[in-house]
Chains A and B, each alone.
Chain A
Amino acid sequence: MATEIKNSPPEPWFKKARRPKEIDEMIDENTILVRRTLRSGQKIHFDGNVVVVGDVNPGAEIVASGHIIVLGALRGVVHAGASGDEQAAVLAFRLQPTQLRIANHITRPPDDEITGPEQPEIARIKDNMVTIEVFQSSDRYGNLI
């Protein structure tokens, strides 16, 4: 299920008000929204960010060059920052992946972990290690991820 989208809206005939430059820098348009649950055997490969509204079940796979956000339970395999971006993060309402990869780091949950997380969590690389923390709506710089 490789998905490709184009970002080329038609040029308007009037002069468009330009966004302030600082806001322009904050916007990343290369994102796809997946509005259903990914089941075993289904996969998404995308050059950009992936947002899933639904679950990612065991046996499903998401590979993205950017961030991966799952508004649901993440139980499958995910690879964020697949083209080497160490700033990429994985965020899920319930982060219980079979395997979690960011850039060239590969992690899996500990074998003895039985209880799943109760709150949204975020995985990212900190000090050259994949770190999982409870997701705070924003850090002190106002950055979500």
Chain B
Amino acid sequence: MSEIIVVTSGKGGVGKTTTTANIGAGLAALGHKVVLVDADIGLRNLDVVLGLENRIVYDITDVTEGHCRLRQALIKDKRYEGLFLLPAAQTKDKTAVNPEQMKKLCGELAAEFEYVIIDCPAGIEQGFRNAIAGAQKAIVVTTPEVAAVRDADRVIGLLEAAELRNPALIINRIRPKMVRHGDMMGIEDIIDILAVDLLGVVPEDELVVISTNRGETVVSDERSRSGQAYRNIVRRIKGEAVPMMNLDDSGFLGRLRRIIGLK
């Protein structure tokens, strides 16, 4: 039984690609066979985030146009045994692929991998329609900003119209301290509007920037809180019931826990 999951958001820059990379790496670290599909044709990023840019020979359009076999375009990750990437084309645009081709491609990938995770481009045009065409489940990423939540709401509506019901929500880059002071939307505020199931909350973390720029994933970092958040998300995707982690570490106990390395 394989799962085909699309990671989408509507708004750009909220962390779709980072989330895709970390979920993929997290699942692979637990021994699963995972393929990440970069559907952002023309603005590919997933290869860079994974540090695999220099290994690309064929891309997704070469596969759909029949210039190569699917196997030839898949790039094996350098750290995780079961992790593969199907890169996007950089020199073409979203019209280079159509939804039917994506559906067929996802079906072929699902025959070989346990998890097919699709990194959706920003926006709601053809790139979005391509990315969701073959998916069975959807993850919507948002940040605690009014504009991002608005776009997430729009995307959830479009996903429902495309029969992708009950998408799971990831709230990215939350700053518990700002939420506490009332300067940032809280988890409840976002859930109140979007009314979907919460898959996880990832706190703002400099380590994400550092690891992303190095072409690494933070999910493998035992000491980072965002890494812990991604590990929890991965376990929830696998069907485990994992309680939401306490983001509020301002109190004495929280600081103490941080110092002794318990999260």
Considering the complex, which residues of chain A in the window 1-59 have a beta carbon less than 8 Å from any beta carbon of chain B?
37-42, 55, 57-59
Considering the complex, which residues of chain B in the window 91-139 have a beta carbon less than 8 Å from any beta carbon of chain A?
none
Tell me, in angstroms, the Cα distance from A59 to B151 when the chains sit together.
9
B157 at the binding interface (Cβ < 8 Å): yes
B156 at the binding interface (Cβ < 8 Å): yes
B164 at the binding interface (Cβ < 8 Å): no
A75 at the binding interface (Cβ < 8 Å): yes
Quote the shortest CB–CB distance from A34 to chain B (angstroms).
13
Considering the complex, which residues of chain B in the window 140-172 have a beta carbon less than 8 Å from any beta carbon of chain A?
150-151, 153-154, 156-158, 160
Give chain A's interface secondary structure class: loop
Name the A residues within 8 Å of B153 (CB-CB): 39-40, 57-59
A41-B154 in contact (CB<8A): yes
Tell me, in angstroms, the Cα distance from A39 to B193 when the chains sit together.
9
Tell me, in angstroms, the Cα distance from A16 to B150 when the chains sit together.
51
Name the B residues within 8 Å of A38 (CB-CB): 157
Given that A39-B157, A40-B157, A41-B157 are known contacts, is A55 also in contact with B195, CB under 8 Å in the complex? yes
Name the A residues within 8 Å of B158 (CB-CB): 41
Partner of A42, one of B151, B157, B195: B157
- B149: nearest chain-A partner, CB-CB: A58
- B10: nearest chain-A partner, CB-CB: A40
Quote the shortest CB–CB distance from B184 to chain A (angstroms).
15
Partner of A40, one of B150, B160, B192, B195: B150
Name the A residues within 8 Å of B160 (CB-CB): 39
Given that A41-B157, A42-B157 are known contacts, is A75 also in contact with B150, CB under 8 Å in the complex? no
Tell me, in angstroms, the Cα distance from A37 to B154 when the chains sit together.
12
A37-B150 in contact (CB<8A): no
A75-B157 in contact (CB<8A): no
Quote the shortest CB–CB distance from B169 to chain A (angstroms).
13
- A58: nearest chain-B partner, CB-CB: B150
Name the A residues within 8 Å of B193 (CB-CB): 55, 57-58, 75
Name the A residues within 8 Å of B192 (CB-CB): 73
Quote the shortest CB–CB distance from A107 to chain B (angstroms).
21
Binary interface profile of B, 205-249, with partner A (CB < 8 Å = 1, else 0)?
000000000000000000000000000000000000000000000
Tell me, in angstroms, the Cα distance from A102 to B156 when the chains sit together.
29
Tell me, in angstroms, the Cα distance from A39 to B149 when the chains sit together.
11
Binary interface profile of B, 176-193, with partner A (CB < 8 Å = 1, else 0)?
000000000000000011
Considering the complex, which residues of chain A in the window 57-89 have a beta carbon less than 8 Å from any beta carbon of chain B?
57-59, 73, 75
Considering the complex, which residues of chain A in the window 90-116 have a beta carbon less than 8 Å from any beta carbon of chain B?
none
- A41: nearest chain-B partner, CB-CB: B154
Tell me, in angstroms, the Cα distance from A58 to B151 when the chains sit together.
10
Can you offer 10 A-B residue contacts whose CB atoms are under 8 A? A39-B154, A39-B156, A39-B160, A55-B195, A57-B153, A57-B193, A58-B193, A59-B150, A59-B153, A73-B192
Q: Hey, which bits of chain B sit against chain A, CB under 8 A?
A: 150-151, 153-154, 156-158, 160, 192-193, 195
- Additional 11 contacts, C-beta under 8 A, given A39-B157, A40-B151, A75-B193: A39-B156, A39-B160, A40-B154, A40-B157, A41-B157, A42-B157, A58-B150, A58-B153, A58-B193, A59-B150, A59-B153
